[in-house]
Every structure is written in C-alpha cells, then in structure tokens.
Amino acid sequence: MDRAIYLDHNATQPVRPAAAAAAAEAMAEVGNPSSVHRFGRLARRRVEQARERVATLVGAVPAAVVFTSGGTEANTLALYGFPGRRILVGATEHDSILNAAPDATRIQVGPDGVIDLTALDRALAAEPGPALVSIQAANNETGVIQPIVEIAGLVHRYGALLHTDAVQAAARLPFDLRTLRADLLTLSGHKLGGPMGAGALVLREGLDLRPWLRGGGQERGLRAGTENVPGIAGLGAAAELAALDRPGMGEVERLREELEERILDAVPSASILGKDAPRLPNTCCVAMPGVSSETQVMALDLAGIAISAGSACSSGKVRRSHVLVAMGVAAEIAESAIRISLGTDSRPEHIDRFVEGWAAIFARSGGERRRTAAR
C-alpha cells in the first residue's frame, strides 16, 4: 500500500533508523552483559550507554534507570515494589495500571479528563498509613496532560509516593523528573521510536524498591533476567533522538490544530474530547455522531489510513473507552470516538487525506441528511 498513511503514533512510533541500527549492531555481537570477559564488557558498555541516554531524556541520573521489557512491566514493578502501601490510581489510567492493581482506589477525573485534586485529597486522608499514587503524565487516548507537579505536592504532604506513567509524554513534552517531583516514572521504547520489548522504570534516589521479577542480580537486583541488549541499545538511541525532537512538537501541534479545525468544518456535530484541558501536541480524540468507532477504523483502514479507537493494548478489540466513561462522556459519543495521533513525520497532505476519507464515511452513513434535516 504505497500511499498508506500512519496516524497512530500513540500506539507505536515508527522505529528510527538510528535505533534500528543500534539494535542490529548489538544483535550482531556476542556477549552477556553480566560476563566479565571482553565480550561481556562490550555488551555491558552498550547497556550503560543506553542507560545514560535514557536518564538524560528525563533529567535523572543513570543509576536511577532500571531496564524492563516495556511500559507494562515497568508499571507492574512500580505498583508491586512497595508492599504494605495501599494503592490509588487515576480512573483514566492505562489498562497496564488498572489491571495490575484491580483493588486500587480509583480517583475520579472531571469532564475535561483532569484528575479531581479534591477527590485525591479525600482519598489520601481517608485511611492512615503509607500509600502509592499512580497518575499518568498524559493520557494515551485523549492526550490530556495531568498537573503532575501539583499532584506531587499533594501526595507528598501525606507521605505517599507518586508514580507517573510517562510513556506518552516523555518524547513530546519538556520533561524533568526532578522538576515534576515524581518518585517513579515509566518509559517504553517503542513509544519513543525504539524497538518493542524494551522499557524502563526511573526512580528517584533513596527508594527501597522490592523486585517483582526475581532470579539473578541484574539491574542492581531490581529486575532479574539477562538484559535485552539489542532492545536496550535501540531504546537508548531513540531516547537521545527524542530529546532532540521535542522542540519540533510545536509544528506537530499546529498540524493537530489544523486537523481539528477541518474536522469541525466538515462535520460540525463532531466532538473533540478533552479539548478543554492541556493536551499532548499530537493527539486528537474525536467522535463522529451516529457512526461506531469500529466502522470508522475499518473504513479508514480500507482507505489506507491507520488510526485507532482508544488504546491499542486491548488485544485488538474495539470497545467503549473506559477513559471516556470516566470523563462522563455519553455512551453514544464514547462508542463513536476514534484517536488520531500524529508524529514528526506527519504532513499536511496526510491531514488532507484523513479529512477527505473521514467526511466521506459520515456522508455515506447518512450524516449529511441528518445534518440538513436538523437545520
């Protein structure tokens, strides 16, 4: 499909050539990074270089970076790493948080998707004893950005720890663990343009984290198992480039704004969800009245345009978004919502194609007749 257009960067970023090259170079070499001979030391060097690059991306020290198999494992390590602490999570968190801690207290969000700080305050005050709070830096479906600095201040007043899933935010927003004041932070390689199968949990200094995966003493005893050297090398290369690309997010945001303006021109009854809150510069969640998300995803795919309905981490299922339900979005709107997520490789002509194809779906559904009748 020569003219296929990829507008699903929140699901996974195209692998950067430098990241692919770094992974391929590591794969072509032999050596276990735990071995003390020359081959092992070369593999260890690749891992530690990647650790430095990841640390630089989020304003941390290299020793704070624990490599994992991806964002899901990093989230699980954070949630299970502090036994005895009760867990509080945002109602719009990724499934890798909600399903890992099904008994956690869920903190409601407002209609704009932003955490209700009063509700969080009440939940923290409700029970004595230490707690761990997990709040996404930015939502993967709507792009809504959470006030992490303010949340951290509140959480720390109660002596609790704050974990933030920064999988979507790290490559797209100015980001510094020290400024955010979070205690733990999750990253995923393939959301940065690295290979799948590599991620990291970044810790502030002084945390006593219990390992979840046990065995050998890799990653300072915090994550057992031989390191995925090719994946980690690719993650490191992608992290270095992601830091350089952040200034270019302004252009991506301008393209997103043009997209939303043209969407509403084409279908005035459409809804941009999360638009009343600060959002990631690349993310648009839009509902087409009267046409299901699944119909839109399939029709656009046939037209050579890749978008998604909600998270891509639900075994390929198209279902009503728990994020939109938590925001109080009406069922008929939530069931017609799709996500368009742009990248630095997105172009105005991609927007042209999307709007043309999307408006055609609306017209075929009888939307034009409904709109005219409503006047």
Are 43 and 228 in contact by the 8 Å Cβ rule? The answer is no
| Rounded Cα–Cα distance for residues 167 and 120 (Å) | 22
Provide Rg for the chain, Cα atoms: 21
| Rounded Cα–Cα distance for residues 267 and 31 (Å) | 57
Residues 6+ apart with CB under 8 A from 270: 263, 264, 286, 287, 288, 289
- Beta bridge partners of residue 186, listed in sequence order: 165, 201
Rounded to 5°, the CA angle 351-354-356 comes to 105
Own/partner long-range contacts of 261-267 (Cβ < 8 Å, ≥24 apart): 262/351, 262/355, 263/355, 263/358, 266/355, 266/358, 266/359, 266/362, 267/358, 267/359, 267/362, 267/367, 267/371
Which of these is catalytic: 196, 224, 313, 333? Answer: 313
- Active-site annotation holds for 313: yes
Indicate which residues carry an active-site annotation. 313
